[in-house]
Amino acid sequence: EAGVAQSPRYKIIEKRQSVAFWCNPISGHATLYWYQQILGQGPKLLIQFQNNGVVDDSQLPKDRFSAERLKGVDSTLKIQPAKLEDSAVYLCASSLAGTGAYEQYFGPGTRLTVT
């Protein structure tokens, strides 16, 4: 079974530029999550999708971050404009719906450096 795919793996941008990350979840997983992991900290949930719909985006800085999940499969997370404090690893995870949603499977992440 293929795991969660993410691209790019690394990205370096200057502050005020924009950036986009892509995620392809495990086939059949209805729930998709985006996390931000700052160096030395645990992952923090940014947004959670159930199929096409947003379940929780309470910790997403909506003035600069946006995310979409078209057709209930792939998802993109965008930052515009980026700030220095956005430097982090952005992790995508997916899970089944219902009680299977407890087990989340993570991708390798995209390491973003904002200079």
Partner 1 sequence: QQQVKQSPQSLIVQKGGISIINCAYENTAFDYFPWYQQFPGKGPALLIAIRPDVSEKKEGRFTISFNKSAKQFSLHIMDSQPGDSATYFCAASIVAYKYIFGTGTRLKVLA
Nearer to partner 1, 27 or 41 (CB): 41
Question: Min. distance of Cβ 45 from partner 1 in angstroms?
Answer: 6
**How many residues of this chain interact with partner 1, rule: CB under 8 A?**
23
107 binds partner 1 (CB under 8 A): yes
Residues between 42 and 101 with contacts to partner 1, criterion CB under 8 A: 42-45, 48, 55-56, 91, 93, 95, 101
94 vs 114, beta carbon nearer partner 1: 94
Nearer to partner 1 by C-beta: 26 or 81?
26
Q: If we measure between CA atoms, which residue out of 61, 33, 63, 28 comes closest to residue 48?
A: 33
Q: Minimum CB separation from partner 1 for residue 16, in Å?
A: 28
Separation between Cα atoms, residue 10 and residue 114, nearest integer Å: 11
**Which residues bind to partner 1, rule: CB under 8 A?**
4, 31, 40-45, 48, 55-56, 91, 93, 95, 101-109
